[in-house]
Amino acid sequence: MTYRLIQLAPGAYDLILYDNVVASVVRNGSRQPYTWTAELLEDLPRSKRPAPFRNIEHDFSSLDELCAWLGHPQVQTNNRHTAARAL
């Protein structure tokens, strides 16, 4: 599956799959070390959840770890000085 992350604000992203927003990705906490959470927007039955989601919500110790879990999606930031990148 090919995911894309679109940054909404620092520490907040929409997770796109097939041109649909399927989850949110957010940074938790106000101080480092941060944790990151990927959460499906719909409470789908386990059999209907997009891979690699086994649960509605998954936590990670870094955005890089989360992106590796998703298969290194393209990341589009909202910083006009930074081009989209793949993690």
Position 1 pLDDT exceeds 70: no
In percent, the amount of the chain with pLDDT more than 70 equals 90
What are 44-84's pLDDT values in tens digits?
999 999 999 999 999 999 999 999 999 999 999 987 545 44
Domain locations in the chain as residue ranges: 3-80
What is the residue-wise DSSP string for 33-83? Answer: SPEEEEEESS---GGGSPTT-SSSEEEESSHHHHHHHTT--EEE-S-TTS-
Mean pLDDT, the chain, integer: 90
pLDDT of residue 87: 47
Position 19 pLDDT exceeds 50: yes
pLDDT of residue 80: 58
